[in-house]
Amino acid sequence: MLKNKEMIIGRSYKYLNTAVLIPLIRINKETHLLFEQRSSDIVQGDEICFPGGRFDVEKDATLKDTAQRETCEELGITKNRVKVRQKFGILITPIGVLVEAYTAIIRIKSIRELNINKAEVRRVFTIPLDWFRKNPPREHQLHIEVRPFRYNDNHEKEHLLPVKDYALPERYEQPWEGREHTVFVYPAPSGVIWGITAEIIREYIKRK
């Protein structure tokens, strides 16, 4: 069972609990962020992200453990080379993914020391923190809609909320609008960084 001091209602049954590291590495006396590009044949293939993954009840006592374990597995380094510093914050996405982010120092002198897991990671690279300070992200507004029904593979309408059975107002038989959702995008030299990763970076730079 996931142990956490913060009470997030619905955490255990409503959200996908994940954790990532914000990996910091010193290169030529300059602080860089380390990134992964995911392998092509996994979920969200080819996208750029921080190391991390899902909480595993069999392996992890906390989401901090998740972030460190996944980082070691993906980058191919031992635990003593990943110094987790502190919890940075929690991000909850519109699709129900809860992401806990932790800052960490990666104790290597070069990414050539890594032995990346090619099944999950296509490549790794770094970008100086100063680049993000000088290049704020672009912002795009997405429209979120709540749909009380869906169509199955046979194109038949399936009601996810039986509005009539509960005598709810008829307006809830139709989609209703949610909030606008801001998506951040960094067109970085090594590839486009967007979504969850970009939002964490933006918040990290704001606090520095």
**Per-residue pLDDT tens digits for 72-112:** 999 999 999 999 999 999 999 998 999 999 999 999 999 99
For 134, other C-beta atoms within 10 Å of its C-beta total 8
Degrees, nearest 5: CA angle 97-31-93: 10
Identify the pLDDT of residue 4.
54
Q: Where are the beta strands (DSSP E) in 67-196?
A: 82-92, 97-106, 121-128, 138-146, 149-151, 157-159, 176-188, 191-194
Whole-model pTM above 0.85?
yes
Burial class for 117, CB neighbours closer than 10 Å (0-12, 13-18, 19+)? middle
5 pLDDT band, cuts 50/70/90, is low
The answer to whether 184 and 194 are in contact (CB under 8 A) is yes
H/E element, 39: none
